[in-house]
Every structure is written in structure tokens, then in C-alpha cells.
Amino acid sequence: MQLPAVPGAVGLSLAAFPVSYALNCGAALAHPVAIAMMGVLVLLILFCMAYLLGEWSQSQDPLFYVFTVFSFTSVIDLIISLEEDGYISGFMEFYLKEGEPYLRTAYGIMICYWDGIVHYVLYLAMIMAITQRKNYRTLGLYWLGSLMMSIVVFLPGNMLGKYSSEIRPSFLLNVPYILIPIWAGMRLFSQPKSLPCCTAEKVVAEQQRSLYQRPLDLGLILFLMVAATFTFFRGLVVLDCPSDSCFNYIYQYEPYLRDPVAYPKVQMLVYMFYVLPFFCLGIYGLLRPGCTWLPDWALVFAGAIAQAQFSHVGSSLHHHTPYPYRTPEEVWWVFLLTNVLYALGPHLLAYRCLHSPGFFQPAAPTGQDGIKKHQ
């Protein structure tokens, strides 16, 4: 008998509330090593329950189990963020004190909000797509970029910032968030693309249009050039560039970049060394026809930048950030407008690539009736 998987996944994830409350009541005096072992035990039990749920729903996709377990941890992260902001209490105090105290920072709270809301919705959507035998590659690539960005900033920030001396055994519970997304990403990239099918004539006509006949592409190229310049500039700022413009920017517009927690510095360096090259490659892909890789990577980087900008902007304004490092109220609108546009541009690029993919598909003989979806 096939049971509905989404209600089962929702029920399993909402079990995070009683589980965290029970552990909080029973582990007030627990040692950090014991807390880490409890975390491992909970994860093992979750995987067993997800396996049973997958068997009942007759799911053949191994990512079903990953998304089901991660939906539970997303609710745990939402509980952490709500508790730290004072909306609830008595659920995760023991874990935040003896397990991962850096989650009490503004950045830790913001990534928990993102994981508990955005990732949770993505998990449920992908679970539903799996059970209905639908393609979820687009959602999966967006999730992959978002999750990987949070990990590559969060983990180095913990080891390099002021909380480096408070790393406990529970820090190792983040290892699955490194290994599993790599494996999941390989599976997602190997799935067939779900792009609109274009005739060979349409592909040829699209690829023969000059840049001036593609105003959206021209606008995207201009955005990518400005974004690349801004990315390089903020990278210089966190590298302590002695120029007056960098000094004025870090003190007047984004003092959060000086916060000793190190997350903003790591974020700007990740932007500089990974996102900046992608912006340059995006310009190349919009100029040269047939760059089949651009739609996929535009999705990945759209998810990554969305997560990064939400966490960075939220942390810059959050009350857990010490007052000297918060964005001054008189520049809020400039700060918000700049960072929202920075996050919006990659999404427009991803939308352009997915909505009208003919320019990025390999050229086909004109006489051919149609071209197959690129695998």
C-alpha cells in the first residue's frame, strides 16, 4: 500500500519540537561529548524512520531519505532561531550552551531561519515531486547552491572567528552537511534537464541575434559587470585595503564587516574567489552561444547568493550583533537596496536561462524538426 509521503515527512519533521524539548529537559547537565553522541543517535533514528517512510511510499530515489531527514533538522534550526529571538523557550538551551554556542550569533540565527523556512519548503516540494515521479532538478540545484554556501561560510567562520576556542564535539555533526550535498549534487547534475523543447530553427535564430537585439541579455551583462566590481571592492575591504574609499565604506555603510565573528569576512572572500569568477563566466555565456553549462550553474549560484545575502543583511541589522558593528540607521535604505539588487540579479539570470534556453543549447542542423532536451 502506498502512503502519502509528504504528510509523513511533515509529521516526522514536526517531531523535532517534542524531541528537542525532551532532550533539553533530560540533558541539562550533559557533557559536550554526550550531547554530540545524542545528536548522532537522533540522526541514526531519523534515517531509519525515513527508510520506513520511503518503503511505505514506494520511493526509489535515495534523495527522498536525505530530504526527509534534513526536513527534521530544518525544524530544529527554526526552533533554535525562534528561541534565540525570544519567541519560544525551553527547547534548545542545553544544545546552544554545550553543543554549538556560535549558533547564538546573529549569523547563526539567520542561517537557522533560512534553513528552517526556505530549505524546509524546498525539502517538502522535492519530496512531493519524488513521490509523484516528477522532475525536481531545478529545485534541487537551487537548494544545492544555498546549502553549500551556508556551509562554506559557517564552518570556516566558526574556526577562524572569536568562537574558535568554543568548538565542541557537536561541531562534527556538520560533517554530513559537507559530504551528503556533494553526493546529492552529483545525482542532481546527472538527472535529465527539464527545459522547454526548441526547434532547430528557433535555436539557430536565437543564436544569430546580436547583443543589441537581446536587451535583457545586455542588461544582465551590465549588471554582472557592476556586481563583479562591487564584489571585488568588498573583497578588498575585508582584506584591509588602506584606500580612503574602503575605509569610509567599512565604517559608514557596512561596519558588520569588522565583526570579530569572522563570518562576514569569510562571506566576502567566498564572493571574491568563487562568485566573482562566476559573474565573469556569466558574461561570457551571454556573449557566446551554446554555453550549455550556464543554466545549471546560474541556478546553483542564485540559490547560493540568496542564502548569503539573506544571512549577511539580517546579521548586519540583528540585535545580537554588537551595536558598533550594526549598519547605521541613516544608511539603511542604501544598504538594503544595494544588497537586494545584488541578490536579485542572479535570479534574473537564472530565469532568463530557464525561460528561453535556445541561446544556450548546442547548435543543430537547420533542417532538423526539433532537438531533444539536452541530457
pTM for the complete prediction?
0.91
The percent of the chain in helix, strand and coil, each rounded to the nearest 5, is 75, 0, 25
Q: Which cell numbers in the block locate residue 137?
A: 532538478
Q: Given this model, what pLDDT does residue 374 score?
A: 43
- Per-residue model confidence (pLDDT) at position 373: 45
pLDDT at site 27: 57
- Give me the torsion for CA of 130, 133, 138, 141, rounded to 10°: 40
Question: How far lies 110's CA from each of 103, 140, 358, in Å?
Answer: 9, 21, 38
**pLDDT block averages, 10 residues each, the chain of length 375:** 64 80 66 74 79 68 90 93 92 85 95 96 93 91 97 94 87 89 94 75 83 92 97 96 94 95 96 97 94 94 98 96 94 96 96 89 57 44
Coil, strand or helix at 167:
coil
pLDDT of residue 229: 97
CA nearest to 81, candidates 118, 112, 115, 107: 112
Q: Give the per-residue pLDDT at 207.
A: 83
Alpha carbon distance 165, 197 (integer Å): 55
Where in 55-151 does DSSP place strands (E)?
Answer: none
Q: How far apart, in whole angstroms, are the C-alpha atoms of residue 331 and residue 254?
A: 9
